[in-house]
Structure 1
Amino acid sequence: MRVSAIAVLAGLLMSAMAVTANAYELSVTVTLDGSTEPVANAVVSVDSGRPGTPVSAEIYQKDRAFHPHVLVIPVGSSVDFPNRDNTQHHVYSFSPAKTFSIELYADRPAAPIVFDKPGIVELGCNIHDHMQGFVVVTDTAATGQTDASGQVTLSIESQGTEGSPEKVTLEIWHPKLPDTTRPVTREIEAGDKPAIVTLNLEPEPAAEGSLDRLQQRFREL
């Protein structure tokens, strides 16, 4: 029995060492379709076969907006929605990944919302229609968001044959995609250089309360 236990431990150790040896960092750069302009805050993920560890997070309301606008969390995480405005909010979502409603409230809701399914959850406020936010619930630990230069680095485990380029399927999501209910997929070949992928995004809408030329000139007088 003791020999068997030692053999099992040795096997587990060898497996762990093999996984570590096959793990590598994948660098991805996301740019706007038809240009070299970097795309910040894109959510990039690779199926790692294992979810991330659930966390406790929050999205607060301030100046009638959700902060952060996009929250990325592992499946099973809980999110609080404190209200830091001087008006009440009614936060809700009709998304299949999580349907909920926190009716008119100020300060902090009684309990956080648990996001127990992967997917894209769009947030809204039933009082202030312009308010919009997103919770991206992932079921893979290999997930990250691009920085201001459009870059992200993921730690993934190799599935390819040694000496041959490995094909990797990326899932990419951004709040300006034409369809924000699901990510788009891109297949790349992993290598020493950062992989470059492009996204077709909707143009930024005019800022709320923006001034026309006449109003702007009047203010400058």
Structure 2
Amino acid sequence: MKWHAKRAVSLLGFLVPLLVFGGEATKTGIIKGTITIGGKPTTDAVVSVEGLPQENLKSQISNLKSKKAVMDQREVKFIPRVLPVLAGTTVSFPNNDKTWHNVFSKSEAKPFDLGLYPAGETRSVTFDKAGVARILCNVHPNMEGYVVVKSHPYFAAPDKRGNYRINAVPLGQYRLEVWHPDLGTKMVSFNLVREGEVLTLNVDLKK
């Protein structure tokens, strides 16, 4: 299936951050767009840029501080259902429900079991390996969430309108990967060629 990219060069002249790899400033651009399912926006996806040189990624990641994220528990649901994080991120699982929960995962990316804990309590897990961790609850079998652990910072989660934005992407030819827990993965090849360029890539997961 062929995907088409629509280019949109910014006319506002905003400043795009420069990455420093090996002592040299790297020219960058921005990837943005909308993720939909049959024309309707979705938040249950992870959008990432793949194919960047590994040596560049190591330099960039070494400059990042430890991150924290939250996957809430409300109305017997994990919120958000899909949570993308950088490897090394500590994710908190607060119980803001009116019942007990037991958050666990048997996924290869991060097997763990937080045990049974009551409303008002929070327990945490550090995800240090790239991959997808399917999150479940021993008390409520219908609860299901996903922590998607990335080995680099070039990713985003769509907002309520399905919009995403990935800043400071080094110029070059890469692929945009859109992952959804129910619909799998779609990939779009693209090429950033000009410093400060804003490339719009809209993806419908059912087309």
Q: TM-score normalized by structure 2?
A: 0.71
Q: Aligned residue for 1:63?
A: 75
* CA distance in structure 2 between the aligned counterparts of 1:14 and 1:108, rounded to whole angstroms: 42
Per-residue deviation, 1:92: 0.7
- Contact 1:54–1:73 (CA under 8 A) maintained in structure 2: no
Equivalent residue in structure 2 for 1:18, among 22, 25, 28: 25
Cross-structure match for 1:117: 129
> Is the partner of 2:103 in helix, strand or coil?
strand
Change (3 A) 1:41 1:76: same
2:121 counterpart of 1:108: yes
Higher normalized contact order (CA 8 Å, seq sep 6+, divided by chain length) = 2
Matched, 1:99 2:105: no
Distance 1:39 1:112 in 2: 27
Q: Identify, as 1 or 2, the structure richer in helix.
A: 1
Q: TM-score, normalised by structure 1?
A: 0.67
Per the alignment, residue 28 of structure 1 pairs with 33
Counterparts in 2 of 1:192 and 1:75: CA distance versus 1, 3 Å: closer
Match of 2:178 among 161, 172, 179: 172
Q: Residues 54 and 172 from structure 1, CA distance in 2 versus in 1: closer, same or farther, beyond 3 angstroms?
A: farther
2:171 alignment counterpart: 158
Does the Cα contact within 8 Å between 1:43 and 1:173 map onto a contact in 2?
A: yes
Matched, 1:126 2:155: no
Paired with 1:82 and 1:193, the residues of 2 have a C-alpha distance of 37
* 5+ long unaligned stretches in structure 2: 1-19
Q: After TM superposition, which residue ranges in structure 1, 4 or more long, deviate above 6 angstroms? A: none
State the alpha-carbon separation in 2 of the partners of residues 92 and 174 from structure 1.
21
Closer, same or farther: CA 87–197 of 1 in aligned 2, 3 Å: closer
For 1:187 and 1:16, locate their aligned partners in 2 and report how far apart those are by CA, in whole Å: 28
Distance 1:39 1:80, change over 3 A: closer
**Could you tell me how far 1:54 is from its partner in structure 2?**
3.0
- Unaligned segments of structure 1, at least 5 residues: 1-12, 160-166, 202-221
Q: 2:205 aligns with which of 188, 193, 199?
A: 199
Whether 1:86 and 2:86 are equivalent positions in the alignment is no
Q: Structure 2: how far apart are the matches of 1:127 and 1:14? A: 47
Q: RMSD across aligned C-alpha pairs, in angstroms?
A: 2.7
Partner of 2:188: 186
d(CA) in 2 for partners of 1:89 and 1:139?
29
What's the secondary structure of 1:81's corresponding residue? strand
> C-alpha offsets along residues 117-161 of structure 1, whole Å, 9 cap, x if unaligned?
1111111111111111111111111111223443322120013xx
**1:36, CA displacement in angstroms?**
4.0
Q: How many angstroms apart in 2 are the aligned matches of 1:64 and 1:139?
A: 30
In 2, Cα distance between the equivalents of 1:82 and 1:38? 27
Alignment length, in residue pairs? Answer: 173
Equivalent residues of 1:46, 1:140 under 8 A apart:
no
1:45 and 2:45 correspond: no
Go from structure 1 to structure 2 and tell me whether the alpha carbon gap of 1:41 and 1:132 turns closer, same or farther (over 3 Å shift): closer
**Identity over aligned pairs, percent:** 31
Higher strand proportion: 2
